[in-house]
Amino acid sequence: QKEVEQNSGPLSVPEGAIASLNCTYSDRGSQSFFWYRQYSGKSPELIMSIYSNGDKEDGRFTAQLNKASQYVSLLIRDSQPSDSATYLCAETRYSGAGSYQLTFGKGTKLSVIP
């Protein structure tokens, strides 16, 4: 049974600070990793994807992957109140049958305090 674990939070950070979100996964065969943002009552919105070890930066977001430790993280710099949402970590690998099924964690709720 593949598992993706996240601290459910809530994680509270002041506006302008760095928010650090963490995720671990159980399947060593996982190939691709994603961070989705989900506002309450809305659908998951893809914000970052990462496929190889190291850091990947996109604007205020940096994703970090360490496959040896089975660990993925997301850093949000200069956090804004609009970043307040639940952040979902997800992983996938190709099933060989035409599917890139995503396995999601429960999400970390982030609250950015003005």
Partner 1 sequence: EPEVTQTPSHQVTQMGQEVILRCVPISNHLYFYWYRQILGQKVEFLVSFYNNEISEKSEIFDDQFSVERPDGSNFTLKIRSTKLEDSAMYFCASSGRRTEAFFGQGTRLTVV
Which range touches partner 1 (CB under 8 A), out of 14-22, 54-62, 77-85, 97-105?
A: 97-105
Which range touches partner 1 (CB under 8 A), out of 19-27, 55-63, 73-81, 84-92?
A: 84-92
Task: Decide whether 98 or 114 has the Cβ nearer to partner 1.
Answer: 98
In whole angstroms, what is the distance from residue 25 CA to residue 7 CA? 12
Residue 95, interface with partner 1 (CB under 8 A)?
A: yes
Residue 77 CA to its chain's centroid (Å): 14
In whole angstroms, what is the distance from residue 33 CA to residue 70 CA? 11
Which range touches partner 1 (CB under 8 A), out of 18-26, 39-47, 57-65, 75-83?
A: 39-47
In whole angstroms, what is the distance from residue 23 CA to residue 82 CA? 22
| Cβ atoms of 64 and 75 closer than 8 Å | yes
Q: Which residues bind partner 1 (CB under 8 A)?
A: 31-32, 34, 36, 42-46, 49, 88, 90, 92, 94-95, 97-107
